[in-house]
Structure 1
Amino acid sequence: MQSLRILLLGAAVGLGTGLPAAASSSIWYNSEGGKVRLVTSGKPDEAGRIHGVLDIALKPGWKTYWRDPGDAGVPPQLDISASTNIADATFSFPPPQRHDDGYGKWAGYDHPVSLPVTFTLSAPNQPAVIDANIFLGICETICIPVQTRLTVDPGSDPDNAEDAALVKAALATLPTPARPDFGINILPGDHETLIVEASFPGDPAAADFFVAGERDYMFGAPARGEKDGKLVFTVPILDRPSTTPTDGGLYYTLTSAEGAVEGLLPFP
């Protein structure tokens, strides 16, 4: 990916450490294009999960990326291996927007965004400390990799109402599960093409389809078409594994003027 090479070779990596703050959030780490921090809801839920967000405050004119930016950019990454009593951490993503800035087409956000993160405790009834290495791209005309360590002790202020409200608001921005009247049907394609038929409310011009390339899949930007009065997206498969996986699937998000849904589609 050309923009990724620019990102890695053409800009200095920002390094920093966010020590625990006196709340269920980290301090802010400042970079040229904005600042980032981790915020949590403090208390784990009944399933032993702590809900949080990677809070990204972008400056005007800057952007960051969805789980799969496309042929440009790099998705946010989080390594919690240095944490105490944290078994896993999983990002969720608000609906992205599609952009073409003249350097490449990409999926992401050109405004401040809070990416929900679910932290799963190893031992639900024991204290936990989140010690996370964060890597993401924040870009204007060039991309600046932001790499920093953010640390949070969720138990230091478990009843922080402001932090809990921020996490709750971020979770409310997530796409809802796909359903028969708002989702996709897979149409016959070929080895190099994924074709989906979209059902959604509202104006077809406002609808868009995003699929995340994982497990060695890489996708191009979808082309819009119509079949039997339905909006159809034809997505080029730019790369794929030598053997099609048989477990799991690929994350997709379908957006419309009246909201967004997400789901898993079988590996093409």
Structure 2
Amino acid sequence: MRSLSILPALLIAATLSGPPAHAASSDWHVSEGGRIRIVTANQPDAGGNLRGVLQIELKPGWKTYWRDPGDSGVPPQIMVDGPEVRQAELSFPAPTRHDDGYSEWAGYDSSVLLPIQFTLAGHHQPATIAAKVMIGMCERICIPVHADLVVDPDRSSQQVVEEAMVHNALAALPAPASPGFEASIATASDDTLTVEATLPEDARSAELFLAGEGGYAFATPVAKPADGKLVFEVPVVAKPAHKPDGQGLPYTLTSSAGAVSGFLPYP
């Protein structure tokens, strides 16, 4: 995983260098397990992309889910409405595995920032963002949280803090998978994927998180050393009749040496 930036240092950097900040945030939506809001930073780039985060603050003992929470969870979702924003895409820091006694699932047991990339209709100016967000917050049971969040680019009282928060969230994402640190499919059948992990030399342990998309669903990967290599057997719960289009199945591979994310080809 990329190193987390220290917030005070980011505050100083944002204050002393670069163009003026144009960060903004929505109001908080408060629920039983915590609260959520959207924070955006700076202006859109030449392609109309604006960076932001979904800030999830959890109360002690509460948890929330990764992009694929398993067979009974609620994955984070965001939808945008209105003519100024075309789409919004979430990214995810490395999760951890949890067992609540009923099922195993991937997620976060403390407050977390989920980076968002907004694609704006206008490339050269900030936009009002109206988003519908749904996440799950869990203590003993999971509570779906629905929120209508609006970010007004002309209203911000903590621009430097918001700018630093977005940079910090992006820095905390897993690095892109590379030939020395990645996962690949070794074999595939109708009921099992065998995924081989390539790890840095100093890595002592690893865990694979595989997201089911496009009609695929998977149970928890099980690590099994084989011929000096680390492989994961992934039970296939469901698969589509035909391979979908797209990049493939999103995965995150975590280890004692950090974390990476990438895509496995559809089997």
TM category (shorter chain) comes to: 0.7 to 0.9
Distance 1:23 1:156 in 2: 9
State the match for 1:238 in structure 2: 237
1:133 offset after TM fit, Å? 0.8
1:93 is aligned to 2:87: no
State the match for 2:11 in structure 1: none
State the match for 1:169 in structure 2: 168
1:29 is aligned to 2:25: no
1:246 offset after TM fit, Å? 4.7
Distance 1:138 1:257 in 2: 28
Cα deviation per residue 1:41-66 (whole Å; 9 max; x = unaligned)? 04212322110000000011100000
**Gap change, CA 1:158 and 1:60, over 3 Å in 2:** closer
What is the SS of the residue equivalent to 2:208? strand
Distance 2:132 2:184 in 1: 38
Within 5 A, what are the aligned runs for 1:1-268? Answer: 24-81=24-81, 83-157=82-156, 160-201=159-200, 202-205=202-205, 207-268=206-267
| TM-score normalized with structure 2 length | 0.87
1:157 offset after TM fit, Å? 4.2
State the match for 1:6 in structure 2: none
Counting matched residue pairs gives 245
1:125 offset after TM fit, Å? 2.3
* Identity value in percent: 51
The one-letter code sitting in structure 1 at the alignment partner of 2:78 is L
1:84 offset after TM fit, Å? 3.9
| TM-score normalized with structure 1 length | 0.87
Distance 1:74 1:130 in 2: 23
The one-letter code sitting in structure 2 at the alignment partner of 1:194 is L
**Gap change, CA 1:247 and 1:148, over 3 Å in 2:** closer
The one-letter code sitting in structure 2 at the alignment partner of 1:41 is A
The one-letter code sitting in structure 1 at the alignment partner of 2:32 is E
What is the SS of the residue equivalent to 2:88? strand
Distance 1:77 1:39 in 2: 16
CA contact (8 A) 2:63 2:139 kept: yes
CA contact (8 A) 2:113 2:169 kept: yes
1:144 offset after TM fit, Å? 1.1
**Gap change, CA 1:23 and 1:243, over 3 Å in 2:** closer
CA contact (8 A) 1:184 1:197 kept: yes
Distance 1:97 1:200 in 2: 18
Distance 2:118 2:157 in 1: 15
Distance 1:181 1:204 in 2: 15
State the match for 2:4 in structure 1: none
State the match for 1:18 in structure 2: none
Cα deviation per residue 1:203-245 (whole Å; 9 max; x = unaligned)? 443x100111001100000111012211100101100111122
CA contact (8 A) 2:23 2:40 kept: no
